[in-house]
């Protein structure tokens, strides 16, 4: 193997396969992850190759999945739990914030919970209710949890292995509408030398404004930057990658150069991740800002019916409009 062109779903599949091969304590569990290979086929073929004791089809009981995984983690295993869709995570919310997030602190550091909770998140696939939500703010607000999101196949392949190897509980958000988008993946690059899991990355350099995103919105922002360049405006796009903890050193450096910042995410605006980022940028870069930090987000409503979801989701035009408004101050 060397560099191959893979979809995000396939890159995740190979990353999970590598983790299973490298550590016999890694187990995968969730609804339909085994024989079916997952709703999005991310775990396709893994049960056939590793057996039903390591790739486990569970009952439809998210609280039970996470509760069982906590016990496994305490006993030295490294469980990887799949929540089938973002909106299905809430039955397990109590387990995640009351047990998963707090066990290490509660035990005075004696217990570790090396648990990964994979959640396909976000909209854009024409799904029914409870299948298109963005719950990252709930978990990012909870001390004891780490939250990350991949945006391209290379990061998907590397980040899932880094998350599984971590001794901390990690909510791993997968941008479901990007599952089938392809890109180059270096399958031979040592994971130990890979880009850090909790670090932001500049994915497009620019000089005129800084645009920040994670997960499914990274591509949207890159498309907006391409369109803006045709009008002579160079946007610097930063993929945050880690939502908790936030890595904003690179962001501050960028904003001090550009003087403008726009934060983009699918989740509603009110008390969202973008609000925290805007506050921190304002605190650290106030004298460099030429305009307020602006947010482009979903609306403060429940996620709408599929036939109107494109009106809800941030798109290229809304990102460019925010950039224009930033220059209008």
Residues with a known catalytic role: 131
Separation between Cα atoms, residue 309 and residue 303, nearest integer Å: 8
For Cα atoms 243, 245, 247, give the angle at the middle one, nearest 5 degrees.
85
Please tell me whether residue 47 adopts helix, strand or coil conformation: helix
Contact status, residue 118 vs residue 172, Cβ threshold 8 Å? yes
Question: Is the CA virtual torsion 86, 90, 94, 98 positive or negative?
Answer: positive
With 0-12 / 13-18 / 19 or more C-beta atoms within 10 angstroms meaning exposed / middle / buried, residue 300 is exposed
Sign of CA dihedral 204, 208, 212, 213: negative
- DSSP strands (E only) in 10-74: 26-30, 55-57
User: Alpha-carbon torsion 107, 109, 114, 118, what sign?
Assistant: positive
Burial degree of 62 (CB within 10 A; 0-12, 13-18, 19+): buried
In angstroms, the CA 48 to CA 244 distance is: 35
CA distance 39 to 118: 13
Element (H, E) at 182: strand 182-186
Burial class of 180 by CB neighbour count within 10 A (0 to 12, 13 to 18, 19+): exposed
- Do residues 137 and 97 lie in contact, with contact meaning Cβ atoms separated by under 8 Å? no
């Amino acid at each position: 193997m060397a560099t191959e062109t893979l979809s995000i779903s396939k890159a995740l599949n190979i990353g999970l396969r590598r983790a299973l091969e490298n550590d016999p304590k890694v187990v995968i569990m969730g609804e339909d992850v085994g024989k079916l290979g997952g709703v999005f086929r991310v775990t396709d073929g893994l049960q056939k190759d590793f057996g039903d004791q390591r790739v486990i089809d569970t009952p439809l009981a998210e609280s039970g999945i996470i509760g069982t995984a906590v016990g496994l983690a305490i006993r030295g295993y490294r469980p990887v739990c799949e929540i089938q869709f973002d909106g299905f995570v809430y039955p397990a919310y109590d387990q995640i914030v009351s047990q998963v997030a707090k066990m290490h602190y509660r035990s005075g550091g004696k217990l570790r919970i090396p648990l990964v909770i994979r959640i396909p998140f976000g909209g854009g696939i024409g799904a029914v209710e409870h299948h298109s939500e963005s719950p990252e703010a709930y978990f990012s607000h909870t001390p004891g949890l780490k939250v990350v999101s991949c945006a391209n196949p290379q990061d998907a392949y590397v980040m899932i292995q880094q998350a599984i190897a971590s001794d901390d509980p990690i909510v791993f958000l997968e941008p479901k509408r990007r599952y089938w988008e392809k890109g180059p993946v270096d399958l031979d690059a040592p994971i130990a030398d890979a880009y850090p899991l909790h670090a932001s990355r500049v994915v497009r350099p620019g000089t005129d404004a800084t645009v920040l995103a994670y997960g499914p919105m990274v591509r949207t922002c890159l498309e907006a930057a391409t369109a803006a360049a045709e009008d002579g405006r160079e946007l610097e796009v930063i993929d945050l990658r880690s939502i908790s903890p936030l890595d904003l050193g690179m962001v501050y450096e960028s904003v001090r150069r550009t003087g403008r910042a726009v934060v983009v995410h699918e989740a509603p605006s009110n008390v969202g991740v973008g609000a925290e980022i805007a506050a921190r940028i304002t605190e650290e870069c106030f004298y460099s800002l030429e305009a307020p930090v602006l947010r482009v987000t979903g609306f403060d409503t429940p996620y709408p019916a599929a036939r109107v979801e494109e009106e809800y989701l941030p798109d290229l035009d809304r990102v460019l409009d925010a950039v224009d408004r930033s220059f209008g101050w």
